[in-house]
Amino acid sequence: MYGKFNFKSHKVYDPSLKYQILAKNQGDIVPASTTEGQLATGKYFALKDDKSFWPAYNLVPLIRTNTLKNNPGIEKVLNQIGKKLTTRVLRLLNKKVDVDGQSYQKVAQNWVKN
């Protein structure tokens, strides 16, 4: 879709190692999600998919129908949270966990309080 690239080589790595590979100059490009915390460090950037090759992967809260029936107030809370969790916000929250080493529980609790 984007044309032919003349990469010197092509290697497959475990996805959890991709930022280590880039940091060690052992690779130049990797597939990534726009919400990854490493993108908030300024060391990396996401290329724009101007031909819409990749579909949007929007975050949405999911809940079982029975759970919702038994807890009707949950729908309003989940919808409020869903509206606030933009790509930018998720990227910054993920940075706190994945890059800064904070616990995901504490990051989530602090975000919900604000």
Which segments within 7-114 are labelled E, that is strand? none
In a domain, 5, yes or no: no
Do residues 35 and 97 touch, judged by C-beta distance below 8 A?
Answer: no
Instruction: Please count the structural domains in the chain.
Output: 1
1 — pLDDT class (breaks 50, 70, 90) = confident
In a domain, 54, yes or no: yes
The one-letter amino acid code at 17 reads: L
CA dist 91 → 36, 51, 97 (Å):
5, 23, 10
Residue 24 belongs to what domain range?
A: 15-113
Do residues 102 and 37 touch, judged by C-beta distance below 8 A?
Answer: no
In a domain, 85, yes or no: yes
Provide the pLDDT for residue 88. Answer: 93
Where is average pLDDT lowest: 1-15, 30-44, 64-78? 1-15
Provide the pLDDT for residue 56. Answer: 83
